[in-house]
Amino acid sequence: MKTAEKAGRFFLTLFGIAGLLFLILSRTGISTDVVLSGSMEPGIRTGGLVFTDTRRRDPQTGDIITYRLRDVRITHRVVRREGTVLITKGDANEGEDPLPVEVEQVLGTVIFSIPFVGYLVTFMKQRTILAILTVMIGQEIFFFIQNELTERRIQYERRQEEKS
């Protein structure tokens, strides 16, 4: 097998496993978001992929949370509680966020992040790229099955010749 073919199969397998992992995580209450700004740097970098436990929706001071503000998902740190609202701040920001966060807005508590992987995820979510990858992964599965069947047929024919 050629080096380029091995590399291609490796990356397709990697993408397939990553896709399955994201599917499994979403079913277990873990959501993923791509960080679009530098407000949480250096801890969470722009382009990072943030994993949020959506079952943990009662954060404490110091926790990093993901919350919804209108149609936008924001990931910031809780700096304090004031009654039923949370006061948040991006680690790199000078001041606190201008609007307090109602507990109902909290989507979950961040459990970890992976730097720069968000760029790849954003690229992969494009319909054209997703369609191409789906076709390529399907093609690899087809060729894998075809190769297995061919090998089994050859082995069967060899055994038949040995018996004759």
User: Which sequence positions are flagged as catalytic?
Assistant: 39, 76, 97
Q: Position of tokens 């690229």? A: 123
CA distance 97 to 85: 12
> Cβ(82)–Cβ(137) under 8 Å?
no
| Cβ atoms of 75 and 50 closer than 8 Å | yes
Q: What is the DSSP letter of 53?
A: E
Beta bridge partners of 49: 34, 114
Q: In whole angstroms, what is the distance from residue 47 CA to residue 25 CA?
A: 20
Residues pairing with 73 in the sheet? 68
H helix or E strand, kind and range, residue 64: strand 64-69
Local structure of residue 83 (DSSP, 8 states) = T
